[in-house]
Chain A
Amino acid sequence: DAGVTQSPTHLIKTRGQQVTLRCSPISGHKSVSWYQQVLGQGPQFIFQYYEKEERGRGNFPDRFSARQFPNYSSELNVNALLLGDSALYLCASSFGGRGTEAFFGQGTRLTVV
């Protein structure tokens, strides 16, 4: 079985640009969450979607948005990129929402220059 897949694996963008990151959950999983992990820190929660509806939002500016599609895949969009947005962006899928095991993808390494 395929695990959580994220694309692209690496990305370099210029300040002010926009970026879209993609995530395909494990088959049968209906929940997708997004995290930002800066080097040396724990993952910071950005969004959770369950059954295509936003279930939670972390403390991130409105430049960050996401959506979940009918096939449960998800996209994370970041507008007006800042140098501080450089990080590993992790997607995790789970069968349900509250209190279920999360399976993480390998992440997308975003570098903003």
Chain B
Amino acid sequence: GQQVMQIPQYQHVQEGEDFTTYCNSSTTLSNIQWYKQRPGGHPVFLIQLVKSGEVKKQKRLTFQFGEAKKNSSLHITATQTTDVGTYFCAETGNQFYFGTGTSLTVIP
């Protein structure tokens, strides 16, 4: 089956520092979605990327889809304690294949 890897697995940052998580696939992705899961919560949709090289921004979050559609990244500028959680990418063809996730801890 599909396997989508994310790095790093864990990231601890000081509040105000930037954070980036990377999502990589060995095969071309039809599209990719990003979700955030707070501790004890359920995944919440953030954004979907469809086009090769696409870049989308949501306030302090910047999402990119690679030119070859085999990788994606999520960058958070000036992290805040509310950014704490696990960030998952997911390939969404006929099924959803979630990445392994990056757990973000923000130290006040």
Contacts and interface: CB of A to CB of B under 8 A. Distances in A.
Verify that A and B bind, or say they do not: yes
Interface of A: 33, 35, 41-45, 48, 55-56, 58-59, 90, 92, 97-107
A59 B31 CA distance: 21
B108 interface: no
Interface string B10-54: 000000000000000000001101000000011111001010000
A33 B95 contact: yes
Contacts of B97: 45
Given A41-B100, A59-B1, A99-B31, A48 B43 contact: no
Interface of chain B, helix or strand or loop or mixed?
A: loop
Contacts of A35: 96, 98
B31 A45 contact: no
Given A42-B101, A59-B1, A99-B31, A104 B43 contact: yes
B85 interface: no
A56 B95 CA distance: 6
13 contacts: A33-B96, A35-B96, A35-B98, A42-B98, A45-B97, A58-B95, A59-B1, A98-B94, A101-B33, A101-B45, A103-B45, A106-B41, A106-B42
B33 to A, nearest CB: 7
Nearest to B99: A42
Contacts of A58: 1, 95
Given A97-B94, A101-B45, 13 more contacts: A35-B96, A42-B88, A42-B99, A42-B101, A45-B95, A48-B95, A55-B94, A55-B95, A58-B1, A99-B31, A101-B48, A102-B96, A104-B44
A92 B100 contact: no
B89 to A, nearest CB: 9
Pick the 3 closest A-B CB pairs, nearest first. A42-B98, A56-B95, A104-B42
